[in-house]
Amino acid sequence: MSEYAEKIRGIAKKLLDDGTVDMVIGFRKGTMPLINEPCFVKDAAKVDALIWDSSCGVNLANYLPKRKEKIGVVAKGCDSRNIVTHIVENQITREQLYIIGVPCTGMVDRRKVRLAVGKEILSVSEADGKITVTGDGYEEVLDKQEMLQDNCAICVHRNPVISDEVIADPVEEQTDVDRYADVKAVEAMAPEARWNHFEQLLDGCIRCYACRNACPLCYCPTCFVDESQPQWVGKSVDKTDTRTFHFLRAYHCAGRCTDCGACERACPVGIPVRQFTKKLEKDCKELFDWEAGMSLDVRPPLDTYRPEDPDEFIK
């Protein structure tokens, strides 16, 4: 991955030196292992701060809506699809962006690594598909594939769908994964079991809104949960209000979600909130043959109306 970082630095320096962009958004080393941070570089002399490894999970498209500068942005496959969505939704223009595409082999789930090691982690390195974790008096080598975030393990769009420059050859796309196995399992449940499943799933939610804040799709100036006139949702952790928040947020993401995993990565109590958005992602695929963020030239299904649109689900 160090060669990726060198290429990103080289491209960023060139873009800033020749004035192609005012700023490059990438990643820098985090203050804690397994959590790298977004990095905004405006001075070509500071591009050495930019890095790349399997802890660059934050979706950098989150920092693009309504910006006025010319921006260079580092983009994985899912990031690039969210950039497409932002352009289609008029949050930024294509002309403002120089997209530095990064073929991605998946981001590491820090919770899985911590669970596998069971000790305090002081540093992490990676090479040849292995993650080497070190701490006080120990070193452990883990298989990266087994430590991937759940969304990365089933990702079928690892290469950027839009870019101005790609830093490496495309990686092989996965074709032997069932992207919706967990959704199908829930769909197969009886109504009462399904209700209990979601009750248990949301039981630990503290309504911190970390999932919303991390989501590149949640850029509304005022979120419905923050409205007071009218007040759509109560401010407490009442179960009805918690359900309302999650269900409405999922529908707000319908036809727009790229399954980047930002919501689950941000959740402090580990709720698999992607189960909601993935259900709607699956419905959009089955009903409209639609995947979010794949094209600048096609409007999303919930943004258009066609007389032949499927309507059998309306009761």
* Contact present, 276 and 264 (Cβ < 8 Å): no
The helix (run of H) or strand (run of E) holding residue 243 is helix 239-252
> Which one-letter DSSP state was computed for residue 108?
B
In this structure, the answer to whether residues 62 and 192 fall within a common structural domain is: no
Final residue in a domain of this structure, among 175, 190, 214: 175
Domain that holds residue 222: 178-310
Residues 106 and 246 grouped into a single domain? no
Which DSSP letter does residue 91 get? S
- Whether 100 and 191 map to the same domain: the answer is no
3-state helix, strand, coil in the chain (%, to 5): 40, 15, 45
Q: Does some domain include residue 243?
A: yes
The answer on 240 and 201 residing in a single domain is yes
88 within a domain of the structure (yes/no) = yes
Residues 183 and 103 in one domain: no
Closest of 270, 290, 280 to residue 313, by C-alpha: 280
Q: How long, in residues, is the chain?
A: 315
Residue 283 contacts by C-beta under 8 Å, 6 or more apart in sequence?
A: 254
Q: Where are the alpha helices (DSSP H) in 48-173?
A: 77-88, 110-117, 150-153
User: Domain for residue 54, yes or no?
Assistant: yes
Classify residue 300: in a domain, yes or no: yes
Q: What's the structural domain count of the chain?
A: 2
Per-residue pLDDT of the chain (315 residues; tens, 9 = 90+): 678 999 999 999 999 999 999 999 999 999 999 999 999 999 999 999 999 999 999 999 999 999 999 999 999 999 999 999 999 999 999 999 999 999 999 999 999 999 999 999 999 999 999 999 999 999 999 999 999 999 999 999 999 999 999 999 999 999 999 999 999 999 999 999 999 999 999 999 999 999 999 999 999 999 988 888 888 888 888 899 999 999 999 999 999 999 999 999 999 999 999 999 999 999 999 999 999 999 999 988 888 888 888 887 676
How many helices, marked H, and strands, marked E, lie in the chain?
10, 8
For residues 129 and 124, what is the distance between their CA atoms, to the nearest angstrom?
13
User: Across the strands, what pairs with 125?
Assistant: 132
With respect to residue 218, please indicate whether it lies within any of the assigned structural domains: yes
Q: Are residues 272 and 167 in the same domain?
A: no
Question: Could you tell me if 165 and 190 lie in one domain?
Answer: no
Phi/psi for 39 (5° steps) reads: -135, 125
Considering only CA atoms, give the Rg of the chain. Answer: 20
Question: Domain check: are 171 and 208 in the same one?
Answer: no
What pLDDT was estimated at residue 234? 85
> Is the bond into 230 cis (omega within 30 degrees of 0)?
yes
252 token code pair: 């707000």
Q: Are residues 161 and 194 in the same domain?
A: no
pLDDT in the model for residue 315? 64
139 contacts: CB under 8 Å, gap ≥ 6: 132, 133
Angle formed by the axes of helices 239-252 and 274-288, to 10°?
A: 40
6 occurs within a structural domain: yes
Claim to verify: residue 24 and residue 49 sit in the same structural domain: yes
Run of H or E including 207: none
User: In the listed set 126, 159, 175, which residue is the last one of a domain according to the structure?
Assistant: 175
> What pLDDT shows up at residue 254?
94
Q: What is this structure's pTM? A: 0.93
Whole-number pLDDT of residue 232: 85
**Do residue 32 and residue 169 come from a single domain?**
yes
Task: Tell whether 20 and 104 lie within a shared domain.
Answer: yes
Residues 165, 171 contacting (CB under 8 angstroms): no
The whole-angstrom separation of Cα 179 and Cα 279 is: 11
> Is residue 164 assigned to a domain?
yes
Does any domain span residue 142?
no
